[in-house]
Structure formats: structure tokens, C-alpha cells
Chains A and B, each alone.
Chain A
């Protein structure tokens, strides 16, 4: 068929020379082939019956159809959990050695139905929540279906609730998993551990070295740094729609909503209610309601009926008391309601306590101090309470609200242990989005004044103004603290002057040639920069005096995390145009300095080159303008601080080039610069520039004091 198609393509050229008989033959053949193709195509896209389509889409099966595994009564049993396990003793980290991108790979065993010798099931095959959990892992970046490359193994045997399974047989089922190997690198999820009468705080199923993500650990059973403490998921999270309620004073100061409380605790709570009256509300089961699902959603006090969990939103603090188990699903409901949990459960290991700072969202009260709860809570200032309410809600949103959130947080914790150098920080775990957005973590936060002896590196960006460049080099070389001079030769069509022609100066002079004429070359972190301080200077800045430059360096040493420059500029909000406007000299305020001559930390070169947000870097290179504004934005954004303008200088005006300083040119210049500010503000998503009303002068500037005794007498002019 292929051959004939090929022939046909060549056909038109041959046809005129062929006999009619042949022509008919060819036309027929062509038609038939065409028809065949159409028919085949139609067949392919014709709606098929349901049976045949199953081949083509994702596998759809029923949980009831999964393979059955029969466990012989004498099949091996794992050891009980080893309490001394730590990551460096029981976890085989070699299995995680070759996972790219510092991300562990998780394998999920396929679902089986386990039955004992006589065919009685070991447990219900899988619960809705465990299915959700495995789905979440499977959909995440952690998942792999390659068992040989996995670092962590998650059995599909559902042990979320110990009450729904047979302990010995479940353990036997675990032991026969293909990579079990004493449970090494296996992760089990359990939310309801223990059983009557004494309710152990960890899953009773023998599991050898397997890690346990458990809800309701006590400090006695929790293996610090090995197990993961997780929340007990509250099904109400999905069933009930509870809109967020902001922080602030609420009707009840303290509320208890749990129904199955030990009488002794209930007495304590009721004593509190008697003492403090209306502000304390102790709820109980409703006795007069008909049984059914509705009972879960109602609470009563005397004859008053309250909706649960809605009533939690009416309280500032909500008691979360230990029941038979330490972990209580009510904690999730309470957090969600923005009610600050008062946790009264001695030795309870709070969910995700390895990474979450519960002090910010809860109050932990020892059981024997229960009668003092009210006074303890009253001593907390209102502002802190509101902070805690906000934090509680955020913890719920981020780590409690769905099975998926719980599963991913658990894996992230284990991942951070294995790749600690790529771990998520305290702030990322704990700060609510609003705080993360508003806060700045200055990359140069340590208050220190670098030694003067280090000096600075001057970087001169030049194209072809050799004469002016040489003058700049000569002038700058007079500055005592200059330690090196770097000329960035941005002209690809012309070679820099010969070595012998360059001015002879007392410090090393290096010329770097660039591959392309781009403005951003001036902010490249060249290896040649050995000092922390960088002086960016244009090749026509010859008006700055040596004192002026040296003073600029001294000021930078006192503010090493800021841009220190000479002429200052300002951004303003134009109310008529509803956008930012660039303002030039003669203002009482500054928010930017020109980088035609400015000192800054070389780290900002690294940031400018590799971490500039959005397309700003390319945009600047394309427009050949505003690289200085971009630098001002960048530094202000990461440090949260204003620039420092030094000395009275207002503009870089060279005496020789007054001719081009025309008014119209000025106008277009201002428009372009304003455009830059608006563009950058939209890319940064905020206006990071800070406005200040001060500049730095030498201590004795214009003071009545002998000039010759001043350190920087020749500080320059406007």
C-alpha cells in the first residue's frame, strides 16, 4: 500500500504519456486506495461498544475484584516495634541515594485481599480514607511504580483504625510483602491506635522496623525523629461546609464539645462553668434526639441544642481533652473553627510536632492543672489570642483539612530527614501565607562592619569611550580603599586598547570582554571580584572626588546590605494617571540611587544575574535602559531596606557634555523611566522601594570646624 501511494504521488507527471486502459486502471486503483483509507479512518473513530473502550483508558476495577491472598496460620510474624529505632539505625538510606532532585521515591504495593486459613478476611479491604491517602501519594511527585528504585514503601494494607483489623493476621500480611525485609523503609499510617481496655498509644500490630505515622502517640511510644505524629482526620472536614470566621472576641471564652469525657474531667469542667458563668460552655450528647448520623452533628447543654461543629466558632478557646486515646478528631474541628485548642492530654505528641510550632496555635495545660485553666488562659493578651486563632485556622488549612494534606505533610517530613540540606524551613512550615507575603528575610542580616582593609572592587562598564574611561580609571585609582579595578569591555567589534596604553595605576587592573553588548553585564558576578564591596561606575563619571568615593565606601561598610549611591531619585504615585511616576532631582525624599556610581555587596550581582524575578533582566537588556532601577527594586525587595544616598550630589553632569542635555530629551527620559518603574512594580507584584528623607554626610560636613582637620574635606558639590 505504501508503495502504491508513493507511485500515485508521482502519477500526474506520467499520466499524459499513458494509454487510456492504463489510465483507467490507475484511476480505479487510486480511488480504491482512497476509499480504503477513508473506511479505515472511519472505523478507527467510530464509537465502539463499552467493552472495547476499557482497553484504551485508565484501568477501572472494583475493590471487590482484587486478588485474594491466603495467609497460612504459621506464616512468619514480624517482631514487635523496635523502640530504639532511629533514622541512622533502622532506616536504609542507601535506597534513597540516587533519587534525583532531593526527593524520596515512594512505592505503593498493589491492593490485595488477605484471608486466613479458613478464608475469613483479615480486615476490610480498604477504607475510603486510606484509598484517598494512597491516591494522594500516587498523584504526588513522590510516587514511583518502580519497586527497585523506591526509597519508601507504603503497604496497601489499611491499618488506619486498629479496631477494624485482626492484629496477628495483619502482621503476617505485612511480613509477606515482597520487600518487607524486617519492615525497613516501610511506612504505615494509623490514626486510631490501641483497643479496649487499655488503649495503647501506638498501633499494636507488630511491625518490626517499619516507620509509623500515628495519630495519638505519647512520649513513651513515639520514637523521636523516626515516627511521625499525624492528626486524627475528622470526616466533618469534608462533610460540613464551615466558612472561615476571622479572629476576635467571641461569645464564649472557653468551650468543651467532647461527649465522651471521664466523669472526673466533666466535673472539673462543670465546676469551671459554675464559677465563670456564661463565658464557659460545657456541652454534652443530646439525650432526647433520635439516633442516627444527625447525633454526631448536635451537642446539648441542659435543654439547649447546638449545631456541631458550628458552635466551635462561637468560642475563643476550645478544650481538647484526652479520651481513651490521646489523639482526638475534635482537634481538627477546633482548629478549623479558628478556636484556640486547649490541649489537656499529658504526654500527647501533637500532630507534626517535629515541624509545627504548636505554641503559636494552642495552649497545652497539664491534666492536674485543669482547675486553673481559666486563669491560665486569661493571662494571654488579646493580641496573642487573635494571632493564635489565625494560626490555628492556618494549621487546619495546610495540614489537617484533607487526607491528602496529611499524607503529603508526612512524606515531606520524612523527605526532610533524608535530605536535610534541602529541607523546608521553620517559616515555610509555620508562617501563614499573609505573614510569608509581608515578611522580608534579609540575606545579609548579621550586623557586622566589614574591615576597611578589604577595600572594594571598581567595575567600569565601557563601550568605546576610551579617553573618558582612562580618566575615570585615573580618578578612581586615587581612592585609598580601591583594591582592584575591573573594566567590562562591552564592545564586541573593537578590541580594547593595548596593554601599554592603559593608565598605570597602583592596583591590579583587569579587562573582561563580554560576548554580547548587554547592560546586565555590569552586574555580572565576575570571578575577578575578590572583595565584598563593589563600586559600579560608568565610564564617564569623572566628577566624583576621591574623598567623595572613599566616604561612600565608609558608608557602605556601615550599611553593607544596602545600595549606597550619589544622586538619589524618587518614585511617586501619580493620582491622575493612576500609576507610578519617576521623579528626578530636587526632592526632599529619595527611594533610589543611580548606579552610575554606587557601592553595594557583590551578592547582589549574583541575585541580579540569577534570581531577578520575571523577565526583567531580558527586558532591561532589550530596552538598554533602567538597569539601575531594576537593581534598586531587587535590593529593596530582598532586604526590605531603603537606599543610602551620600553627599549633596544631585546629578552626574559632565561639564563637557551639556549640549545633549536638552529639555525634550529629558522629557522622553522621564517617561521611559516611569514606564520602567510601572513595569517592575507589576513583575514584583508590589512596590518594594522605601522612601526616606535622609542622606549620609561626613560627621563634620559644613560644620564650623577647620577644614584641614576633617576626614573628607573635599566632598564634592551638586
Chain B
């Protein structure tokens, strides 16, 4: 009984308590909530509000407004400043392309100037008639101060004129410039008319006219332990700081802090990864020195326009930084990823070699920039200016599509077009290359055969039936004819042959497959090597069997058809006529050209020994296969080295063979088994 009572009481107590709790909870909390102001919550960055009525906002322009913005009449060019469209009459250049007339000097001229004139006259832009020219070039005076140029006869307010000012002129305003374009060294950013003027590099007095010193970079990555920074000092000197340099270049305490070595005057090139160049210093040729040395220029707020900035993408080779943020710049340099450092370093060298190493290159680059402006839509794409071998060696008259050139397949993710054209040069009617035609036509990669008939007698009317089309082209009986860009060539690859060349189909097949891996190189069978002849004090070359080689004979060689264009249109006339006089020189010249472009050796593939015995006797005057070159021919290598300004040939120690070549395994396994026939 008591238990019941107790349990009832317990229950009622239970209920009452719960009920009161509930009441308190339901009633008091909301009251508390209202009474106590919500404390400000810590928030993430709130950002721009999402407006409730965002959808209702008006557009910035009314529907018709964009269409009807009131037509305006064509505008006349303003007189105070010039741009390309307004101040250059490109219609004169429409037919003949860029033709340049150079004003002759009024009085006696300096040696440098004479050589510059000679260099322009030797180029394909030059014309002797001012009426025919679309660009009139006025070389700004480099005569002693005081003798200023008179206004030339065809001045016409400076229209279609280019005033070329390689060295700071003694009389700065030679003539009233008017509508003339100005090409001068390191123009200030404020006076430079982008897209109209041309910014040149500041060249030292003794800059070589042609060829020029190669870049100093010998390896891709910086040598371990090399200084991080070099600082441009007075009169072309450089100060280097230690590897873990602090901000010393900025606070001027380099000497005390690190005891850096001041480079002796005269020994000029900095040895560091980065070269700091103050922006205000007018001697911007520190910049060129850094390029040549492969030292990445770090320009602190430069007040001058970088050379050829219209076409050269300087972000790939230099760093333009704000001088007001020294610590950030220094940290950025120290922490720069290795990949970027490598890319910048290599680009400095490429640019130096392609555009800056000689006066001739600087002038030609200037003219090519103007030509690209004239071409408009058919100008070179940026890739051709900014990757090896550079725009002077990538002619837009050949193509403006990078995939047509042998150099850009990697960047484009492309491959050279599938097959090859055989180009057989026939000099004597007695040596009809009938067997050779069958051998070449037997190759699965052969697309066509072109016979370059270079004899007085007409070619025979009938040619053997072949699996591929055969075309006869009439030649002019000149050795340089072999390298003319014939429009009949329909493939990227050319197999250049002499009538007396002896090859087997599997040799052709294998060589072509190798060429596909190296489309920018020449892939040949027979080789020569060059050497420095101490006794004669000059270059020589030999066909002796040797452990290395630097040239392949063009009597049997694969190369890209672009080299025909380059041979015919970029080489100076004098060199081509040299090749015509001595046919062996044509071989040497072609090898020089390709080596100068690629900077790598050609490739040799195996060549059966049986050919050498089976070969018919040579016609007199034809290239001496396996014969010691004639003394007259020996000299052409020196003439060419002089014309190129340096020796471009590079030696190779290797031959590319099929993977199982002459291995002691079953011939049945081998793809190119007939290559090994004795």
C-alpha cells in the first residue's frame, strides 16, 4: 500500500517536474533569445554581396545601343605622332616585297659604315633605284661631330624612310624626322612609338660585322657553385656576389660584406646565373654582355625599350622587375624553379646567336621586322621569332605555318609528311641512272622521282616504268641548281642523288626512317671531315675514313626541302657562285648551311662496302666520291668560313645502324637484313 502511494507520488513529482522543465524551456529560451542581442559572429571573408534583385538589374547598355553608336567618318592621320597604318605606304612594297634603297654617304665614310653598306647591298632586299624601293634607309651619320647630314633628296617628309642609328649619333636630330621610322639603340619608353619605330640593342664599338662570337654557354644548367648574381658596374664591369648573396646589390655593400671579385676591366663577361642591370643606366650594353654570357638579365625598371621588343618575347629570356621591390625580386630569383632557370638561360643564348652577335644580324633583323609588318597576315608567327633557329633562318616566303618547317615539330606536336621525293641530278647523258631509279622506286617510302636534267643534250623521251611518278626537270647546268626549291617537290623529305650514286633499297628505307627522327638534319651515307691545318694556317677537309665526320656528301643524302629555299634565298650571291664554279663546294656549302642553322652534326647511316667497288669511274669535275678533294676545292672551305664569320661544322663520332645490325643472330629476325650483304 505504502509502496503504491510512494510510486504514485513519485510519478506525480516526476510529471510536475518534467512539465515545469518543458515550460521553462519553451517559454524562457525564446525570451532570452530576444532579450540578448546576437553577438557578432566571426565570419569568413564576406565578399561582394549576392543582391536579392541581381536578376532585375539593368544591363550596362541598352539592346540597340551597341549597334547604333553613331557612325563616324574616316579619320585623317594625326600629324603629331605616327603609327604604321598612318605613316607608312605599304602599297609600294606590294609587288616586289621589301626593297631597300640606301642613301650613299655625302662625304668620306668610315670603315664600319662601308661594311654595313656592303652587307645591305649583298642582301636580297637591296635595290639601286630609289624609285623602285619601298623603304629608303638613311644611315645616321657616324662621321665625327659637326658634319651633319643634309636632308636627302627623296625625303618627302620622311615617308617610308627608316633612320638607322646604330651608335648614338653625334648630331641627335640630323633631320626633322617627320614620318620617318627611327631605329635606334635603347630608345626611352616615352618617345618610342610602338609598332612604328624599331628598338635596337646598344652595340659596342668593336661589334663584329658578320658571324660574331658564339654564346658562352657550354652547358644547359648553371655550374654548381656559380654565383647567383652579378651586378652591372661602371664601364662594362661586373661585380659578382657569393652564392648565398643577400641584398648586397641594393645596399651597395657588396665589397665589404662578401669581398666579391671585381672582374678585371676588359674581361667582360659575367659568370653568374642572374645579371642585375639597373634600369636607369644608359649603357644598356651590359644587357648584350649578359645575353652573350648566358647570364639571365634581370632588368630593374628599365626606362628603355628592349631591343626588337616588337617580335622578341623577352619574358622568355629576361626578367623585368620592379626596382622598388628588391627583397621580393631577390627571393624570387633564389626560389625560381630550376626548369625556368634552364629555359631562360638557353633562350638568352639562342637570342644572342640569332639576332645580336653581329652588326649584320642586327640590321637584317630590323629589315625583317619591317618586312613582317608589310606582310601583315602572312608575317611570321611568334614561334618562328622566338625559338631556334630564329626568324632570320625561317623565311616567311617559304611558309608561315610552323609545321612546314623542319624545326618546330615538337612544339607543334606534328610529324614531317610521310614520304620522300628522290631528286636525281644527271650531268652527262651517258650516265642514265636506270638502276638507281629502280632501286629508289622500290622503296615503300618513295613518293616521286624527279630527274634534274643538266646536260646540253635533251633528255631521252622514254624512261623506265616505275611504281611512282617520274618527272624530268630541265636544269641550268649549274651546281647550285641541285638546291633550287622546285615546286614539283611535294614532300617534306628530299633524297638528293647523283646519277652515279649506288644504293640499295633497304639502305634508302632505313635512312629515311632515321631522317624521320631527325627532320632538321642531313642524313647521308658518305662522309667528309674537316680539320684545322696548322701548316697551312687554314681549314682543310678530307674524305679519308676516320673516327669522326662533319659533312655528308650530297650525292646521296636525305634532308628537308626547306633547305632548298634557304640555300637559294638566304645565302649571299657570292657564295652561291662559288659553288657553281667548283661543284665540290656545293657539297661543302650545303653542309655549312645546315650546320649553321642546326648547330649539330649531320647523321651517317651504314653504306655497303660493295658499292665502292661497283661504282663507275667518275666523270671529270663531278664531286669526288671517296676521292681526296682537289686543291682548288680545299680552298672553298676557307672562303666559306670567312663568309659565315665562323666555322659552323660540328663533328660526330657515331653512326646510326639498325638495332640488330651485324649482330650474331638469325638474319630472319632482322628487318634490314640486306643492309649487311657483303
A161 at the interface (CB under 8 A from B): yes
A332–chain B nearest beta-carbon distance, Å: 10
Q: In the complex, are the beta carbons of A367 and B85 less than 8 A apart? A: yes
CB-defined contacts of B615 to chain A, threshold 8 Å: none
Output the least CB separation between B638 and chain A (Å). Answer: 23
Interface pair A124/B401, CB less than 8 Å apart: no
Q: Does B325 reach chain A (CB closer than 8 Å)?
A: yes
A93 within 8 A of B: yes
Given A439-B412, A590-B659: A131 touches B54 (CB 8 Å cut-off): yes
Contact of A367 among B60, B74, B329, B414 (CB under 8 A): B74
* Docked-complex contact B71 and A447, CB < 8 angstroms: no
CB-defined contacts of A347 to chain B, threshold 8 Å: 83, 85-86
Interchain CB contact (< 8 A) of A588 among B220, B313, B653, B658: B658
Which residues 542-571 of A have a CB within 8 angstroms of B?
A: 551, 554-555, 558, 560, 568
Q: Is A696 located at the chain interface by the 8 A CB criterion?
A: yes
**Complex contact B49–A35 (CB within 8 A):** no
Closest A residue by C-beta to B349: A446
Q: Across the interface, do B301 and A88 meet the contact criterion of CB distance under 8 Å? A: yes
Tell me which residues across on chain A come within 8 A of B388, comparing CB atoms: 445-447
**A694 adjacent to B322 (CB under 8 Å):** no
Could you tell me if A696 and B21 are in contact, using CB atoms closer than 8 angstroms?
no
Tell me the smallest distance from the CB of A340 to a CB of chain B, in Å: 9
Residue of B nearest to A36 (CB): B21
Distance between Cα atoms of A406 and B414 in the complex (Å): 32
- Give 15 A-B pairs besides A219-B81, A425-B315 with Cβ atoms closer than 8 angstroms: A31-B14, A43-B26, A88-B324, A102-B332, A163-B65, A263-B71, A296-B67, A346-B77, A363-B377, A430-B382, A454-B219, A530-B224, A590-B659, A698-B653, A701-B655
Q: Closest 8 interchain pairs by CB?
A: A438-B413, A138-B48, A446-B346, A262-B71, A366-B85, A138-B47, A127-B60, A711-B547
Q: Would you call A111 an interface residue if the criterion is a C-beta within 8 Å of the partner chain's C-beta atoms?
A: yes
* List of B residues within 8 angstroms of A224 by Cβ: 189, 194
Which residue of B58, B67, B547 contacts A260 across the interface (Cβ within 8 Å)? B67
Contact across chains for A60 and B321 when beta carbons are under 8 A apart: no
Question: By CB atoms of chain B within 10 A, which of A199, A323, A690 has the most?
Answer: A323
* Residues of chain A within 8 A of B315, CB atoms compared: 420, 423, 425-426
Interface residues of A in 187-243 (CB under 8 A from B): 191-192, 196, 199, 219-220, 224-225, 232-235
Q: Which residue of B lies closest to A144 (CB)?
A: B45
Count of residues in A whose CB is under 8 Å from the partner chain: 174
Q: A424 CA to B360 CA in the complex, in Å?
A: 33
Is B25 in the interface zone, CB < 8 Å from A? yes
**Residue in chain B with minimal CB distance to A161:** B60
Alpha-carbon gap, A554 to B655, bound state (A): 12
Kindly report which residue of chain B lies nearest to residue A645, judged by CB atoms: B659
- B42 CB–A CB distance under 8 Å: no
Q: Report whether B71 and A260 are in contact in the complex, using a CB–CB cutoff of 8 Å.
A: yes
Query: Does B21 contact A39, Cβ atoms closer than 8 Å?
Result: yes
What residues on A are CB-neighbors of B350 within 8 Å?
446
Inter-subunit contact B658/A694 (CB<8 Å): yes
Q: How far is the CB of B198 from chain A (nearest CB, A)?
A: 16
A697 contacts the other chain (CB 8 A): yes
B86 and A346 form a contact (CB under 8 A): yes
Task: Say whether A5 faces chain B, with CB atoms less than 8 Å apart.
Answer: no
The interface bits of chain B over 652-678 (1 if a CB of A lies within 8 angstroms of the residue's CB, else 0) are: 111111111111110001111000000
Known pairs A35-B22, A443-B343, A588-B671; A705 contacts B71 (CB<8 A): no
Asked whether B147 is an interface residue with its Cβ less than 8 Å from the other chain, the reply is no
Within the assembled complex, what's the spacing in Å between the Cα atoms of A420 and B22?
A: 67
Q: Is the CB of A323 within 8 A of B21?
A: no
Q: CA–CA, A126 to B56, complex, Å?
A: 11
Q: Taking the complex as formed, is B207 at the interface, i.e. its CB lies under 8 A from any CB of chain A?
A: no
A-B contact pairs, 24 of them (CB 8 A): A24-B13, A40-B25, A59-B46, A61-B49, A88-B279, A88-B323, A127-B58, A199-B69, A235-B61, A346-B75, A367-B85, A379-B377, A422-B332, A441-B343, A446-B346, A448-B218, A558-B653, A568-B659, A588-B669, A606-B338, A697-B654, A697-B655, A698-B547, A704-B609
- Tell me the minimal C-beta distance from B648 to chain A in angstroms: 12
User: Quick one: given A39-B25, A134-B48, are A450 and B219 in contact (CB under 8 Å)?
Assistant: yes
Q: When chains A and B are docked, how far (Å) is the Cα of A346 from the Cα of B596?
A: 41
Residue in A closest to B339 when the chains form the complex, CB atoms: A443
Task: Determine whether the beta carbon of B413 is less than 8 Å from that of A43.
Answer: no
Interface residues of B in 9-51 (CB under 8 A from A): 10, 13-14, 17-18, 21-22, 25-26, 29, 38, 45-51
Quick check: A448 and B220 within 8 Å, CB to CB?
yes
Distance from B434 Cβ to chain A, minimum over Cβ atoms (Å): 29
When distances are taken between beta carbons in the complex, the residues of chain B under 8 Å from A158 are 60
Choose one: A55, A88, A369, A446; the contact of B322 (CB below 8 Å): A88
Other-chain contact of A438, B66, B325, B412 (Cβ < 8 Å): B412
Q: Is the CB of A323 within 8 A of B69?
A: yes
C-alpha spacing A93/B298, complex, angstroms: 18
The CB with the most chain A CB atoms within 10 A, among B382, B598, B601, B660, is that of B660
A632 shortest CB reach to chain B, Å: 16
Q: Is A464 an interface residue (CB 8 A)?
A: no
- Are A84's CB and B190's CB within 8 A? yes
A620 interface residue (CB < 8 Å to B): no
Q: Which residues of B contact A642 (CB under 8 A)?
A: 517
* Interface contact B547-A420, CB-CB below 8 Å: no
Asked whether any CB of chain A lies closer than 8 Å to the CB of B64, the reply is yes
Residues of A within 8 A of B220 (CB): 444, 446, 448, 450, 532, 560, 601, 603
Chain B residues lying within 8 Å of A616, measured Cβ to Cβ, are none
0/1 string, A600-644, CB within 8 A of B gives 1: 011100100001000000000000000000000000000111100
Contact partners of A265 in chain B: CB under 8 A? 71, 74
CB-CB contacts below 8 Å: A309-331 with B:
322-325, 328-330
Within 8 A of A (CB), among B292-330: 301, 313, 315-316, 319-325, 327-329
Give every chain A residue within 8 A of B663 (Cβ-Cβ): 648, 650, 718
Task: Identify the closest chain B residue to A234 (Cβ).
Answer: B66
CA distance A55 to B517 in the complex (A): 68
CA distance A587 to B663 in the complex (A): 12
The CA-CA distance from A642 to B220 in the complex, in Å, is: 19
**Min C-beta distance of B548 to chain A, whole Å:** 6
CB neighbours of A639 from chain B (8 A): 410
A228 to chain B, nearest CB (A): 15
Q: Are B64 and A296 in contact (CB under 8 A)?
A: yes
Partner of A220, one of B81, B323, B328: B81
Q: CA separation between A16 and B352, bound complex, in Å?
A: 95
B662, A702: Cβ atoms closer than 8 Å: yes
A139 to chain B, nearest CB (A): 7
B414 surroundings in chain A (CB, below 8 A):
438
Q: Let me know if A63 and B53 touch, CB within 8 A.
A: yes
User: Do the beta carbons of B346 and A220 come within 8 Å of each other?
Assistant: no
Q: Is B25 in contact with A357, judged by CB distance below 8 angstroms?
A: no
Q: Determine whether the beta carbon of A128 is less than 8 Å from that of B66.
A: no
Question: Which residues in B have their C-beta under 8 angstroms from that of A586?
Answer: 660, 665, 669
Contact flag A694-B514 (CB < 8 Å), given A438-B412, A586-B660: yes
A590 to B218, CA, bound (A): 30
Question: Which residue among B25, B223, B349, B670 has the maximum number of chain A CB atoms within 10 Å of its CB?
Answer: B25
Nearest A-chain residue to B64, judged by Cβ: A296
Instruction: Choose from A32, A58, A59, A199 the contact partner of B17 (Cβ within 8 Å).
Output: A32
Inside 8 A of A650's CB, which chain B residues have their CB?
A: 663
Question: Which B residues touch A128, using CB under 8 A?
Answer: 54, 57-60
* B60→A699 contact, CB < 8 A: no
Q: Is A261 an interface residue (CB 8 A)?
A: yes
The residue from B13, B67, B656 contacting A694, defined by CB atoms under 8 A apart: B656
B614 interface contact, C-beta 8 A: no
Provide the B269-304 mask, 1 if CB < 8 A to any CB of A, else 0.
000000000010000000000000000000001000
B50 with A60: CB separation less than 8 A:
yes
> Which residues in chain A, 20-64, are within 8 Å of chain B measured between CB atoms?
24, 28, 31-32, 35-36, 39-40, 43, 55, 58-64
Is the beta-carbon distance between B85 and A346 smaller than 8 angstroms? yes
Determine whether the beta carbon of A426 is less than 8 Å from that of B316: yes
- Bound Cα distance from A419 to B527, whole angstroms: 52
